[in-house]
Structure 1
Amino acid sequence: MSLFNGTIQALEHSLGYSSAKNRAISSNLANLDTPNYKAKDVTFKNYLAHEFSRPIQAKTTNSRHIGFQGDTQPAGYKTIINQASSYQHNGNNVDVDKEMADLAENQIYYQALVDRISGKFGSLQTALKGGR
């Protein structure tokens, strides 16, 4: 039996993605004026596609129930570099407005994940205290 049916693990992977995205955005903003610097981005599509292709997990309460197969590890996320474009005359392709919007979106996403994990552990703490 796994605690919270894998929810904590999924939230952990999502936090890892959000941290990697934040590192990429920070790197892009730090190198805003660096000649020939190419912007980085973190993709989550492989992980998302993997999660949607997984079979539905069901809890078996009787030994005669049919089990579900194919539970595998997530594919994860990947950092990519955009080599195709150039916004500045020095070969740099960092768009500060896009990066700031991505940063704000990522901060909201990260905070939502932290709040969800906090809620999960709060529920566990309440149960351990006997509902008080």
Structure 2
Amino acid sequence: MDLFSGTLKVLGQSLDAAAAKNNVISANIANVDTPNYKAKDVTFKNMLQNASIDEFQAKRTNSKHLSFDDEMNTYKIVEKNNTSYNHNGNNVDIDREMAELGKNQIYYQSLVERMNGKFRDLETVLKGGN
């Protein structure tokens, strides 16, 4: 029996992706002055990251198509190799990274609040509505 129709699983995957993005942004900021360092970013494989995977039924006609199985990671870390902002080959834009860090922190906190709400709902049911 799935208490929340996969919602907790999707929220958990989104939290994992947000935590990974925070780690990548932190590494980019830490390497802002490192020669030839190339910034990294987290991209989401699943564009509908807030939707439940169970809602989709897809037929794979080619082995290269993405599956909708339960073990699929929701994110991928990629390196940005096509730019260079500094004379030393580094492509970290500190202003962009700080803005992304703030945005990601707000996103992470909203996911935590939503998950807490799901647990509060469960607690209310277990207490008999009181």
TM-score range, shorter chain: 0.7 to 0.9
TM-score (norm 2): 0.83
Q: Using a 3 Å threshold, how does the CA distance of structure 1 residues 30 and 120 change in structure 2: closer, same or farther?
A: same
AA at the equivalent of 2:19:
S
- RMSD over aligned Cα, in angstroms? 2.3
Task: Give the match for residue 17 of structure 1.
Answer: 17
The structure richer in helix per residue is 1
Q: Using a 3 Å threshold, how does the CA distance of structure 1 residues 83 and 109 change in structure 2: closer, same or farther?
A: same
The answer (yes or no) to whether the contact 1:87–1:93 under 8 Å persists in 2 is yes
2:111 to 113, 116, 123: 113
Q: Using a 3 Å threshold, how does the CA distance of structure 1 residues 24 and 72 change in structure 2: closer, same or farther?
A: same
Task: Give the match for residue 97 of structure 1.
Answer: 95
Task: Give the match for residue 3 of structure 1.
Answer: 3
Q: Using a 3 Å threshold, how does the CA distance of structure 1 residues 55 and 111 change in structure 2: closer, same or farther?
A: closer
Residue 56 of structure 1: CA displacement? 3.6
Task: Give the match for residue 124 of structure 1.
Answer: 122
CA distance in 2, matches of 1:107, 1:51: 17
Task: Give the match for residue 83 of structure 2.
Answer: 85
Residue 131 of structure 1: CA displacement? 1.1
Larger radius of gyration: 1
Residue 121 of structure 1: CA displacement? 0.1
Structure 1 vs Structure 2: percent identity of aligned residues?
Answer: 52
Residue 48 of structure 1: CA displacement? 1.9
Q: Using a 3 Å threshold, how does the CA distance of structure 1 residues 49 and 120 change in structure 2: closer, same or farther?
A: closer
Summarize the alignment of residues 66-81 of structure 1 with structure 2, pairs less than 5 Å apart.
72-73=69-70, 74-81=72-79
Task: Give the match for residue 60 of structure 1.
Answer: none
Task: Give the match for residue 35 of structure 1.
Answer: 35
The runs of 5 or more residues in structure 1 that have no matched partner are 58-67
Residue 47 of structure 1: CA displacement? 1.6
CA distance in 2, matches of 1:40, 1:89: 19
Look up the SS of the partner of 1:5 in the other structure.
coil
The runs of 5 or more residues in structure 2 that have no matched partner are 60-67
Task: Give the match for residue 64 of structure 2.
Answer: none
